[in-house]
């Protein structure tokens, strides 16, 4: 999708309204229009990058500052005692908008939301072999 059609680029340019929370020269945060919980926010780099795999690593500090600032404020405003920070990378992981973005979802104890079901490896050997395979691709 071109940057002229990207819905988040259009929000950055002010062509589509948003419930803005935070803005710097490089980062924008606003409320998700279809929240998991009220206060569910999105943090996006202003520059168009389809997925995190395309993102400039130099944006890291600006993004972490946004996560901390917006996360603390949305907890204070909603009475949440925590939040989840998540990103969907590619369609198989549920990414719908191909302009990299992070979800901040406010949480309270016992709210019943189970975002991370746990599984198991058949053996430690299987786990270690997979770790070795991943390490080889990082090197
Ligand atoms: P993802 O599945 O990670 O790509 O999430 C995209 C998110 O963008 C969804 O949670 C949508 O509800 C949200 N979204 C889409 N359009 C808008 C919009 N115009 N304003 C705010 N949030 C939006």
Whether residue 113 contacts residue 36, with contact meaning beta carbons closer than 8 Å, is answered with yes
The upper half-sphere exposure of residue 3, i.e. CA atoms within 13 Å in the direction of its Cβ, equals 7
Mutation to probe ligand 1, out of 16, 32, 94 (largest number of atoms < 8 A from CB): 32
- For residue 19, pLDDT beyond 90: yes
Give backbone dihedrals phi and psi of 123, rounded to 5 degrees, phi first. Answer: -160, 165
CA distance linking residue 84 with residue 71, whole number of Å: 9
Please give the domain boundaries of the chain with CATH numbers for all domains: 7-109 (3.30.428.10)
48 is catalytic: no
- For residue 2, pLDDT beyond 90: no
Average pLDDT for the chain: 96
pTM of the model: 0.95
CB of 52 within 6 A of ligand 1: the answer is no
What average pLDDT does this structure show over 122-131?
A: 98
CB of 51 within 6 A of ligand 1: the answer is no
CA distance linking residue 103 with residue 83, whole number of Å: 10
CB of 76 within 6 A of ligand 1: the answer is no
Distances (CA, A) of 88 to 80, 95, 102, 139: 23, 5, 8, 24
3 confidence band (pLDDT: 50, 70, 90):
confident
């Amino acid at each position: 999708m071109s940057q002229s059609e990207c819905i988040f680029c259009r929000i950055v340019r002010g062509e589509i309204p948003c419930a803005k929370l935070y803005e710097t020269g490089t980062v924008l945060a606003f409320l998700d229009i279809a929240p998991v919980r009220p206060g569910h926010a999105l943090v996006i780099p202003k520059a168009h990058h389809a997925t995190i795999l395309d993102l400039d690593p130099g944006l890291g500090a600006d993004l972490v500052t946004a996560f901390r600032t917006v996360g603390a404020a949305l907890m204070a405003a909603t009475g949440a005692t925590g939040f989840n920070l998540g990103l969907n990378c590619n369609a198989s992981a549920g990414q719908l908008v191909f302009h990299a973005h992070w979800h901040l979802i406010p949480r309270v104890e016992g709210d019943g939301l189970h975002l991370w079901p746990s599984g198991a490896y058949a053996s430690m050997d299987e786990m270690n072999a997979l770790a070795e395979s991943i390490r080889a691709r990082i090197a």
